[in-house]
Structures are given as C-alpha cells and as structure tokens.
Structure 1
C-alpha cells in the first residue's frame, strides 16, 4: 500500500478538484463567466501531457546511451499516455472556446500550434510502425523524440506569444491574474494540476506493464 500512496493521492486530488470545480464559487468575469471552471480541466490536461512527453524524451535519451529495450518501451508508452491527455486538452479547449469565443475552432494561433504539437507525436507513433527491425526502430524513434520535444515547447510556449492570440497570456493578452484566479480557484486549480499529472503517470505505468506482458506472452 505504501508504494501506491501517489496513486491514491492522484485519485483523491482528481475527485476533489472535479467536485469542487463544479461547486466552488468563481469570479464573475465578462465573456468567460461560468466557463472559467474549465480551467480546472483544460490546463491540467496540457500540464500532464508535457510531463509525460518529458518522461518520454528522458527514456529516449537513456535508450541511446544504454540500448536497453525497456527504455524504448517506456518512451513509447509515455508518448501514448501523453497523446491521450493532449487530445483531452484540445477537446476541453474546444468546448471552452465554443462558449467563450462563439465557435469551437477559431484557428487561433495557439489552437493551431497545439494541434501541430499533437501531430508531431502522432508522426512519432506512425514512424515506429513504419520500421520493422526492432533496434533500428527504437534508435530512429528515440532521435525523432529528442528533436520533437523542443519543437513542441516552442510551438506551445514561444510562437503564440509572438502573434495575435485569443488565449490569455499570449499575443499581448494579459494572463489570469490575482483578480481572475482568486484564492478559492487556486485551492482547486493547483490540486487539479497535481492530481491529473499523477493520474497521467499512473496511466503510463499501466500501459507499460501491459506492453511488457504482451511481449512476454509472445
């Protein structure tokens, strides 16, 4: 049980933030109104994705130095888990945009770059399926992953700040400040981020164990 404390913590934080996300009072802001509650779900999805992609690139680097196939398996399964959260991030963002901006997809610069970032990792998964030889596949995909990660960071955090954007904090728009994200929201938002990151990592470990079982049963 003591080894699973972080799983329990993640589950408790997600349950807490989900319930509190619908019940805790939020600031009455123009345009966003009650849709600001999506902050508790939309942003943690992206944080979880970035953490999982960071885990993936760590194991890709480790594979190139060790040639241990387990490191390659950990890299690909963390990408699989990260892609899940990336898709959830886009979906929750489209729902929020529908209420705040009037349409689910407005071709906002950050929306476009977020979609490209996910496609980068879909390409990673396609690349793996295109190479039959196991060691060659692992090496090529590890190199691709190492280059894809900084590109993803630039697409999500650098380029949107250089162009006009509807997103808070990008394109000259102010980010959420102490008035928008008050103390009540922070008590939900921060636990939500930590909880979803822990749950995301938990999902990655499950995918990894399933993949190992599949390999052992061949």
Structure 2
C-alpha cells in the first residue's frame, strides 16, 4: 500500500476533476464562457509535461557523471511520457481555441511556440535513434536534453509574453488571475494539477519498467 498510495491519489484526483469540473459552477467570463472548464485539463497536462521533462533533464545530467544505463533509460522514458502529455496539451488547447477563437489553429504565438517546444523533444528521440553505439548515444542525447530544457522554458514562458496573443491574459482575452479563478475553480484546478502530474509520473514509471525488462532480455 505504501508504494501505491500516490497512484490511488492521482486516480482519485483525476476522477474528481472530471466530475467536479463538469458539474461545479464557473465564472461567466466574456469569450471563454463554459469553455473555461477546459482549464482543469489543458493547463494541468502542460504542468505534467514540464515536470516529466524536468525529471528527464535531471537524469540526463546524472547520466553524464554516472554513465549508468538506468539513468539514461529514465531520461528517455520521462521524455516519452512528457511528449504524451505535451500532445494532449496541444489537442485540448486546439479544441479550446476552436470554441473561443473560431479555429483549431490560428498560428497564435503561444500555440506556435508550444508546438516548437514539443518538436524539440521529438528531435531528441530522433537523435537517439540515429546513434547506434550505446555510450555515445547516451552522452550526446544527454547533452542535447540539457540544452533543450531551458529552450523549452523560454519558448513556453518568455517569448509568448513579448508578442500579442489571443491566449488568456493577452489581447483582451481574460486571464486567470485572482478575480477570474474564483474559489469554486480553485477547488478543482489545484487538485487537477496534482492529479495529472501524478498520473504522468505513473505513466513514466510504467514505461521505465517495460524498457528495463526489454533491455534485460536483449542482454541475455
């Protein structure tokens, strides 16, 4: 039980998010209206992605000194899990955009930079597949990952602020501040963030175990 409590917690929080997110009241804001409920899914999925990419860069740094295959596997599988949630973030964001901006993809700066940040990590996976020698692959991909992470942060949090955007908080579209994100939404939003992060970490641990078993079978 002590090893699974966080999995149960994550599952409960995500189920709670789905139910409460659809049933509890939300502020009636111009442009957003009922679509604001997507905040419980779209934003937490991005948070889960960022946490998973943070885990990945940690193990990339660690693998450069340890030269451990385990650390290298943890780095790549956390990226694989992070990409899943990044794509879910893009999809939920595109659906949200359709109902608030009128089209799935409007080439809004935040949409564009978010897509580029995901492509950075697809490039990481392509780089790994292009190198056959294990130690060389681990070293080069670790170095790439260490540089990709701050680039992802800049793309998601810095560059979009330098341009006008339809995204909430820009261009007349209400932002999620203390006025907009009322107590009803906080009761769902904060548990949603924790729940999706825990589910994302669970996906990463499953992928890591599967990859470890595959590697052992290859070496036997």
Same fold per superposition (TM over 0.5): yes
1:117 counterpart residue number:
117
Consecutive unaligned residues of structure 2, counting only runs of 5 or more, are none
**2:45, 2:85 within 8 Å by CA — same for their partners in 1?**
yes
1:89 counterpart residue number:
89
The alpha carbon displacement at 1:171 in A equals 6.8
The alpha carbon displacement at 1:174 in A equals 5.8
Question: Which digits, 9 at most, give the CA deviation of each residue in 1:118-150, with x for residues without a partner?
Answer: 000000000000000000000000000000000
2:14 counterpart residue number:
14
Q: Distance in 2 between matches of 1:216 and 1:115?
A: 35
Distance change in 2, residues 1:171/1:60 (3 Å): farther
The alpha carbon displacement at 1:179 in A equals 2.6
Q: Which moved more, 1:169-178 or 1:159-168?
A: 169-178
Q: Distance in 1 between matches of 2:55 and 2:135?
A: 20
The alpha carbon displacement at 1:170 in A equals 4.8
User: Normalising by the residue count of structure 1, what TM-score does the alignment of the two structures yield?
Assistant: 0.97
Q: Distance in 1 between matches of 2:167 and 2:174?
A: 9
Consecutive unaligned residues of structure 1, counting only runs of 5 or more, are none
Q: How does 1:56-205 map to 2 (within 5 A)?
A: 56-170=56-170, 175-205=175-205
Q: Distance in 1 between matches of 2:81 and 2:198?
A: 12
Q: Distance in 1 between matches of 2:173 and 2:18?
A: 28
Distance change in 2, residues 1:173/1:157 (3 Å): farther
Give the length in aligned residue pairs.
218
Q: Distance in 1 between matches of 2:74 and 2:172?
A: 39
What's the Cα RMSD here?
Answer: 1.2
2:207 counterpart residue number:
207
Q: Distance in 1 between matches of 2:151 and 2:172?
A: 22
2:217 counterpart residue number:
217
The alpha carbon displacement at 1:169 in A equals 3.2
Distance change in 2, residues 1:181/1:140 (3 Å): same
**2:30, 2:174 within 8 Å by CA — same for their partners in 1?**
no
**1:161, 1:172 within 8 Å by CA — same for their partners in 2?**
no
Question: Which digits, 9 at most, give the CA deviation of each residue in 1:130-189, with x for residues without a partner?
Answer: 000000000000000000000000000000000111112357866312231110000000
Q: Distance in 1 between matches of 2:204 and 2:155?
A: 24
1:49 counterpart residue number:
49
User: Normalising by the residue count of structure 2, what TM-score does the alignment of the two structures yield?
Assistant: 0.97
SS at match of 1:3: coil
**2:26, 2:184 within 8 Å by CA — same for their partners in 1?**
yes
Q: Distance in 2 between matches of 1:176 and 1:205?
A: 32
